[in-house]
Amino acid sequence: MNQTATVDHFPVLDLDPFSTEFLQDPYPFHEQLREAGPVVWLSKYRVWAMARYEQVHATLKDWETYCSSAGGGLANFNKEEPWRPPSIILEADPPLHNRTRSVLQRILTRTAIEKLRAGFELEAEKLVESVLARGHIDGVMDLAEVFPLRVFPDAVGLTKEGRENLLPYANMTFNAFGPRNELFEAAFAEAETVSSWIMEQCKRESLTADGLGAQVFAAADAGEVTEKEAGMLVRSLLTAGLDTTVHGITSALYSFACFPQQWQKLREQPKMLRPAFEEVVRFQSPVQTFFRTTTREVQVGETLLQKDQKVLLFLAAANRDPRKWDNPDTFDITRRAIGHVGFGAGIHVCVGQMVARLEAESVLTALLRKVDRLELVGEPQRRLNNTLRGLSSLPLLLHKA
């Protein structure tokens, strides 16, 4: 047998990143993954994993070597049937990805989204006023879930009926990026009803004439995408646009409840709001992981990855890699959090990030004006998901300013 030029040895870990133990408290496991090496073999799922910032970032940037068309989750679409027709933006490579991306990108730019700001801020003021009157609230059920549901479906142009299907559908999709474990099965209990409602809302005739959905269909009228593709892009908006921002707002409330001095600092300098939310996303990483698939043999450190292998990217671990960040486990709104991979990086970087920021900023601005302190008055309850990190409950006492 010929000796290859590269010594091919690599760390092997048998941990399960989708187990209850891991998802409850991922941080010790993230450290173990980072310390094990630049790339690690996860024997339980027979996939590669990267948890250091340098490799996660480089992999996200190299879409030619690490493709998305074989799926953003554990399932390899080259070998397994996807649970739904793949997303034509998330689970697509150039050139298809470029064409679909440019449509959503134009609709979701900062200037396009600015038109929504006044309405979002008004809703946030009203909501914060009403929760403040109660004092004791649940940060998730009364704020983080309520606000996006009040503004986003209207912004897209959905009908009022059936909106209760939106979060269950997102829960299905984000669990479906993981293995077919108990979380996956539980999320899919009402899959048929939920999916068929979602698909119905993606049709041109289901959408109002003035929303983001109608703008996607305008791109079909202009010949940029087909009618069917427009529907699929609306599906992407509905899948990726709601639960993610629920988790982003939850992350902000949780961070500021845990670190009251940071809230005080932000109240003194409200101009710090944008960088503060960036730090929230770095620190909490509402989207914890994504997969890519190798399109060729590729060397990472001393390890040779074969073609058509799944690579699990720990965005959350990269966002707390001490090789990249000073005091990574400290929530500090004055740090330069830019460069975090909480929104991804490269050609697939979150296309909706301006909407996410606008929603978070609207809620936090209203709270900053009216709330002196967010006091944690009970044990937060984790909501476990194969991809998202969030809470089902966050007991808070809001102290009036």
Nearer residue to ligand OVP within complex by CB, 287 or 318: 287
Radius of gyration of the chain (CA): 21
Who's near 67: CB < 8 A, 6+ residues apart? 93, 292, 293, 294, 295
Nearer residue to ligand OVP within complex by CB, 198 or 367: 198
Of the candidate residues 36, 60, 90, 156, the single one contacting ligand OVP (CB under 6 A) = 90
Nearer residue to ligand OVP within complex by CB, 335 or 348: 348
Q: Is 108 in the site for ligand OVP (CB under 6 A)?
A: no
CA dihedral (376, 381, 385, 389) in degrees, to 10, reads 20
Q: Is 239 in the site for ligand OVP (CB under 6 A)?
A: yes
Instruction: Name the segment binding ligand OVP (CB under 6 A); options: 30-38, 118-126, 156-164, 239-247.
Output: 239-247
**Using CA atoms, how far apart are residues 375 and 32, in angstroms rounded to an integer?**
33
Q: Is 173 in the site for ligand OVP (CB under 6 A)?
A: yes
The DSSP code sequence of 67-93 is ESTT-SSSS-TTTS--SSSPPTTTT--
Q: Is 202 in the site for ligand OVP (CB under 6 A)?
A: no
> Taking a C-beta distance cutoff of 8 angstroms, is the pair 65, 349 a contact?
no
Nearer residue to ligand OVP within complex by CB, 235 or 383: 235
Instruction: Name the segment binding ligand OVP (CB under 6 A); options: 58-66, 236-244, 305-313, 366-374.
Output: 236-244
Query: At its nearest, how many Å lie between ligand OVP and the CB of residue 360?
Result: 16
Q: Where are the alpha helices (DSSP H) in 295-386?
A: 315-318, 353-370
For residue 399, the surrounding DSSP H or E stretch is strand 395-400
Of the candidate residues 49, 89, 107, 253, the single one contacting ligand OVP (CB under 6 A) = 89
Nearer residue to ligand OVP within complex by CB, 173 or 293: 173
Q: Count the residues in the chain.
A: 401
**Can you name the residues that pair with 67 across neighbouring β-strands?**
293
Q: Is 287 in the site for ligand OVP (CB under 6 A)?
A: yes
How many CA within 13 A on the CB side of residue 251?
30
Closest among 372, 367, 374, 369 to 401, alpha carbons compared: 372
Nearer residue to ligand OVP within complex by CB, 86 or 395: 86
Total of residues contacting ligand OVP (CB under 6 A): 10
Q: Is 195 in the site for ligand OVP (CB under 6 A)?
A: no
Q: Which residues bind ligand OVP (CB under 6 A)?
A: 87, 89-90, 173, 235-236, 239-240, 244, 287
